[in-house]
Amino acid sequence: MNLYITGLNQITDVDIDRINKPDLPIAAGHLSLPTAKAIVIFSGIFSLAMGLSHPFLSTNGLSVALWASFILGTMYSLPPIRFKRFHLLAAFCIIAVRGAVINAGFYAHAQAAAFGGGA
């Protein structure tokens, strides 16, 4: 999922990254935009599919973490919402995903994987 979120951000910010972060793969020309889009789409679909595969590869905690990260990561980078345009909403998105969603979701996933149950 991190590949989806960070890749989507790089795809939507190529012009800015050419100035501020010229060493990133797309900005530097090491990765074409069509290839980057294919990788990002695949990684998003694959991540969500793992979350839907419950109970074989996932738990409820992991599924919630994946879906919440996907939704907030998409809202952060893509129009019409594009939270990154507003500093407080951008900070909220980053804190929510990195601070709350991932930690709580992975904790619930580890608890369920180690001790059983559907959490």
Residue pLDDT tens, the chain, 119 long: 999 999 999 999 999 999 999 999 999 999 999 999 999 999 999 999 988 887 677 888 998 999 999 999 999 999 999 999 999 999 999 999 999 999 999 999 999 888 886 55
Tokens of 49: 């599919």
DSSP state of 1: -
Tokens of 111: 């608890």
Residue 52 Rama label (left phi>0; alpha psi -120 to 50; beta): alpha
Q: What is the pLDDT of residue 118?
A: 56
For the chain, how many helices (H) and strands (E)?
6, 0
